[in-house]
Amino acid sequence: MAKGTNQKLKMLYLARIILSETDDQHGLTMPEIISRLKSYDVNADRKTIYMDIEELRHFGLDIISEQIGRKWYYYIGGRDFELPELKLLVDSVQSAKFITDKKSDELIRKIESLASKHEAKQLHRQVYISGRVKTMNESIYYNVDRLHDAIGSDSQIRFKYYQWNVNKEMELKRDGQWYQTSPWGLMWDDENYYLVAYNSGDDTIRHYRVDKMLHIEMIDEPREGKQQFKEFDLPRYTRSLFGMFGGEEKKVTIEAANDMVGVMIDRFGKDIFIIPVDDGHFQVTVNVAVSDQFLGWIIALGEDVKITAPEDVVKKMQNAARRLTDQYCVKGDGSHVRRGRC
């Protein structure tokens, strides 16, 4: 038999054919395998393919041979990723706000390559299940890489930070001045990537949206804040924030009806101490960054939840309630009061 021009690549093409075209529901017969190889300009006979398949099995590919009727079929059994796992990855990529639509499509195509072409169709259909709002900053992937490099090399960074204005234009904060900080970690919360860093100027730990960071540069200065981060608890820090808005962290006591206990556990974790108040109510004391977002969360839970301590946080809630009353005050003629109290 004459050899094809790609004969030296026979084993690689054979592995590609079996990995891309077969799964436990779709096999290839020996004549089909020979035909596929021929399309790559590789000539082979049954005997050599049997030997090659054994070599691939020895290498680690889970190639199954199964007789159905008079024909023998060959297919991949186990893979590094099972189809349900790939579906989960696709859903995660598609739903992540910090990944642009363009990059989502690229990543999903790469995930599809981990399955057979038949299973890839199921993954492709999942792309259309969601129309979530996605970031428009394509540079986030390079930002994450630069931040990891800075953390790994124990270097400070500088960057510029932007926000959107009413004209839907990117507008640099601090009039375009550089931010300088010591990066210590990355976290993913509320479907966005955040850098957690130490600011020596005011001795605080802060977080920044990675997709809003521009022109990240490493600085030839060692990171600061090592002592602060030695005792830093990232999960606790994340639980204390609401909508990733900062605020003074305090121990806040919340009283709620018993049927709200699941809400508290979902928000603050199972390790909170639940203290009965009476037959129908309990209280918890949790660490919270007291912000308007936290107060809004309490308000949204309704009349069965209230803050009872400390007094200054209770007063913040009272002021927020008065502000809402004034903001939505309506006159007797049905018109809204724009300023002043009702």
User: Rounded CA gap, 25 and 135, in Å?
Assistant: 38
pLDDT category at 130 given cuts 50, 70, 90 is very low
pLDDT at position 113 is 92
Q: Check residues 241 and 19 and name the one with the higher pLDDT.
A: 19
pLDDT at 264 over 90: no
Q: What is the C-alpha to C-alpha distance for residues 135 and 140, in angstroms, rounded to an integer?
A: 9
Long-range CB contact pairs, 92-97, < 8 A, 24+: 94/126, 94/127, 94/129, 94/130, 94/132, 95/130, 95/132, 95/191, 96/191, 97/132, 97/133, 97/134, 97/135, 97/191, 97/192
pLDDT single digits (tens) 313-342: 999 999 988 888 888 876 555 566 655 555
The helix (H) or strand (E) run that includes residue 48 is helix 46-59
Least confident span in 25-29, 170-174, 290-294: 290-294
Give 72's strand partners: 67
Question: Per the confidence metrics, is the pTM higher than 0.85?
Answer: no
Confidence at 126, pLDDT banded by 50, 70, 90: very low
The CA angle 146-240-225, to the nearest 5 degrees, is 45
pLDDT of residue 104: 84
When pLDDT is cut at 50, 70 and 90, the band that residue 137 belongs to is low
pLDDT band for position 133 (50/70/90)?
A: low
Cis-peptide into 222, omega within 30 deg? no
Of 15, 19, 13, 18, nearest to 39 by C-alpha is 13
Predicted pLDDT at 95: 72
